[in-house]
Chain A
Amino acid sequence: MPLGGVIFIAIFVAIFGIVILYAASRFGTRRYDPVKFESYECGVPVQEKKDTKISVKFYLTAILFILFDIEIIFMYPWATTFRDFIKSGEGGYVFFSMMVFIAIFIFGLFWEVKSKALEWE
């Protein structure tokens, strides 16, 4: 079971990162200057952050991503077993059912394109 290795290297990398950040923070000089600690906005006086308007498109993209991602993940077990199904003579049935699924997928994609949910002006 490779799980131990995965956890080991994840923790190792995290510790490596923390140590290196800590070490770097020890070496550098520090001089205090109130302007320096303002957010960087090309030298223009900082505007208040709360007025940031963020397009709802980003979140719409994320929602569509989730839905289509799951449909794609459904294809993975199908892809691994498709040849076994063909060998056992059920290939046509499985092929057909997946094509129905993909047709639904394509219809969804077509609908989103048509309803301009994916337009970025």
Chain B
Amino acid sequence: MGHDIFEVSINAIKLIVVFLIIVQAVPFLVWLERRGSAFIQNRLGPNRIGPLGLMQLAADAVKFFFKEEFVPASAVKLLYYAAPVVALIPATLAFAAIPLGQPVQWNEYTFRLQGYEINVGIVFVLAVSSLAPYAILLAGWGSGNKYALMGALRASAQVISYELALGLSIVGMIMLYGTFNLSEMVLAQQAPLSYSFLGANWTAPSWLPAWGIFYQPLGAIVFFAASFAESNRLPFDLAEGEAELVAGFHVEYGGFKMLLFFIGEYGHMIVASALMVLFYFGGYTIPGISMADLNQWAAEHAPGANAASLTVGLLTLLCFFVKLALFIWLFIQVRWTLPRFRYDQLMDLGWKTMLPWALFNTILTAALVYVAHL
């Protein structure tokens, strides 16, 4: 994790901060979701406690703490308690691998604004998210409730089905960038947009960055839809289907155990949005300004190289979070706009629509790369 005690401790703190970002984002997102849904449905939402109802979060947390501890008699205790803890891990590990800003150069140390730099970043993120079904299955089995078990099987079948489309939709992306490294992908997207086809070149106006969405629109759509299903959000929240399954795999959970599941679920949503930003919307780069210009500007205006590097790091971090927030809002907007699918429609969409389209995208990209030396 580092060469001396200073670097190791900074890196450890960084990891904990990344985790706390996810944990702290959740109450805020719950508030945003409740206010946002109220806004969409022309209601008021929680507005009694504190300004704009913001203190509702604290009230909820206190309430969670004083809930009764409860284990159903038919539960398998070990699995029942393990499930919420396991639910936290995949999202945290995946989010820690995402570069949030330009690395900060501090004297002789380089601190990346991410939990850890992994040179096969995409594979790592996919691998870690493929562990998500465990929490669901553990909860479903551990609760000893048949509705929970059914919900868990449904949820995990759904998650794994859409994992196929998700994994396939980024093959074109990998082909264009020729790397699994997330930081390199971000840097590849800062150049001005240009297409070349059979030797003919066309360069867009310089303010238009070479974002992945311009090269892979189809892949982006499939990826985005699949990541909705991966994070079990409406319109794909079949796992919860209140009417037929009570509440899915977390029927028997309450209080803080429920909250941990929530953190896991919102964590998946944050990771999905972050990946969307990273693959298709330029990551932490600021549109219209190249990183070289930005570094130049900071070097002129900030006192000292450390401060300049820190300024650029924070600016890019801010830019990343703005983009991230837009996508998270999109998640909320979609949830409160679209109705839920039926289960057979869900599976049909995953296997018979999105998988073939993702495959088509792969073939098309490969053909274009081969023929046109894109």
Contacts and interface: CB of A to CB of B under 8 A. Distances in A.
Are any A and B Cβ atoms less than 8 Å apart in their complex? yes
Interface of A: 2, 4-6, 8-10, 12-14, 16-18, 20-21, 23-25, 27-31, 36-42, 47, 49, 52, 54, 57-58, 61-62, 65, 68-69, 72-73, 75-76, 79-84, 86, 91-92, 95, 98-99, 102, 105-106, 109, 112-113, 118-121
A73 to B, nearest CB: 7
Given A5-B96, A24-B255, A118-B347, A73 B174 contact: no
Given A12-B15, A105-B359, A18 B369 contact: no
A9 B164 contact: no
A82 B178 CA distance: 8
A8 B370 CA distance: 43
Nearest to B8: A4
A69 B179 contact: no
B252 A39 contact: yes
Nearest to A85: B370
Contacts of A25: 69
A58 B153 contact: yes
A42 B243 CA distance: 11
Contact of A10 (B16, B93, B168, B344): B93
Interface stretch (B116-124, B268-276, B288-296): B116-124
A12 B88 CA distance: 11
Contacts of B65: 23-24, 27-28
A72 B168 contact: yes
B347 A38 contact: no
Nearest to A10: B89
Contacts of B156: 58, 62
Contacts of B16: 9, 12
The 10 nearest A-B residue pairs measured at CB: A17-B85, A120-B344, A2-B116, A24-B256, A5-B116, A37-B73, A79-B174, A25-B69, A39-B145, A79-B175
Interface of B: 1, 11-12, 15-16, 18-19, 64-74, 81, 84-85, 88-89, 92-93, 96, 115-118, 123, 143-147, 149-150, 153-154, 156-157, 160-161, 163-164, 167-168, 171-172, 174-175, 178-180, 246, 251-252, 255-257, 260, 343-344, 347-348, 351-352, 355-356, 359, 362-363, 366-367, 369-370, 373
Contacts of B164: 65, 68-69, 72
Contact of A99 (B12, B167, B172, B363): B363
Contact of A102 (B92, B147, B246, B363): B363
Contacts of B144: 39, 49
A9 B251 CA distance: 29
Contacts of B117: 2
Contact of B161 (A2, A10, A13, A65): A65
